[in-house]
Amino acid sequence: MPKLGVNVDHVATLREARGGIEPDPLWAASICEQAGCDSIVAHLREDRRHINDLDVRKLKRNVKSRFNLEMSINPEIVERAKKILPHQATLVPERRQELTTEGGLSVNKYKKKIGIVVEALKRKGIEVSIFIDPKPSEIFAAKTIGVEIIEIHTGRYSLARTQKAVGREYRKIKQAVEYALSLGLEVNAGHGLDYSNVKRIARIKGINELNIGHSIISRAIFSGLYKAVRDMKRLIR
Ligand code: PXP
């Protein structure tokens, strides 16, 4: 059974909507851990649009499972990561205007740059994963630069709308997982997974961990809203 990493970025997105102190992603992380998740994921973006430097320091200090820091290969972020020392760093591409990570990091295109970052983080004792598209050439390139973990991008599978397209994207992921395992890589997967599409991916043999954020935080609003209103009514009364 794959493990579950919960991405708490969107708890910080909600906090930033008001610029205050709540909701706190660390509090969310603690609840996720009590509920049985296996790791906490947060993306320290270059523009700090949600998770900020204090959040990652607090997460590193208090997360009891594993803290997986998503990050770009921007030198400023790499320096931060070397100080924060998360258990794991997942390298992702980052564009300022995007709403979310839009594709995998192209290892073939940025092999040298990524290789230097991987080496620097590993030297600090951080486990390094690279978020890549389900393409054999990218998986092979990741292996050659010395990473031991990859995360397969499931975004195209999640966005596919016809049965044919879903099947095609699913097969790409399954084959990518099998190929990566044959190279001795640890394989994670994530992006866009939700309560309707996760089962099929979770059944693929050999996936170590699924990283899921948006759908869990979205559902949490509705599973908690009833009690939140009741609590407020009680106080008013
Ligand atoms: N994995 C990676 C590498 C990501 O960048 C993200 C989004 O931050 C996720 C998983 C989680 O995606 P989602 O929020 O769509 O579940």
Name residues contacting ligand 1 (CB within 6 A). Answer: 7, 9, 43, 70, 90, 92, 100-101, 131, 151, 190-193, 211-215
**What does pTM read for this prediction?**
0.96
pLDDT for 102 equals 72
Beta carbons of 1 and 43 less than 8 angstroms apart: no
Q: Which residues are part of the catalytic machinery?
A: 43, 70, 191
Strand 207-212 relative to strand 149-153: parallel, antiparallel, unpaired? unpaired
43 CA to middle of ligand 1, Å?
9
What is the distance in angstroms between the CA of the first residue and the CA of the last residue of the chain? Answer: 47
User: What's at 108, amino acid-wise?
Assistant: N
Residue from 3, 4, 6, 7 whose mutation best tests the ligand 1 pocket (most atoms within 8 A of CB): 7
Give the 3-state secondary structure of residue 20.
Answer: coil
43-68 exposure pattern, b = at least 16 Cβ within 10 A, e = fewer = bbbeeeebbbeebbebbbeebebbbb
Beta carbons of 215 and 194 less than 8 angstroms apart: yes
In the 8-state DSSP scheme, what is residue 51?
A: S
Beta carbons of 168 and 160 less than 8 angstroms apart: yes
pLDDT for 95 equals 79
CA nearest neighbour of 68 among 237, 213, 203, 204 = 213
pLDDT for 216 equals 98
Q: How many domains does the chain fold into?
A: 1
Q: Which domain holds residue 140?
A: 3-236
In the 8-state DSSP scheme, what is residue 139?
A: H
Residue 178: CATH number of its domain: 3.20.20.70
Q: Is the dihedral of CA 12, 14, 18, 21 positive or negative?
A: negative
Cα distance between residue 53 and residue 70, in whole Å: 13
Nearest CA to ligand 1 atom 9: 191
In whole angstroms, how far apart are CA 209 and each of 5, 40, 195? 7, 12, 16
pLDDT in tens, the chain (237 residues): 999 999 999 999 999 999 999 999 999 999 999 999 999 999 999 999 999 999 999 999 999 999 999 999 999 999 999 999 999 999 999 876 777 777 899 999 999 999 999 999 999 999 999 999 999 999 999 999 999 999 999 999 999 999 999 999 999 999 999 999 999 999 999 999 999 999 999 999 999 999 999 999 999 999 999 999 999 999 999
User: Alpha-carbon Rg of the chain, whole angstroms?
Assistant: 18
Q: Atom of ligand 1 at shortest distance to CA of 214?
A: 14
Q: Atom of ligand 1 at shortest distance to CA of 216?
A: 16
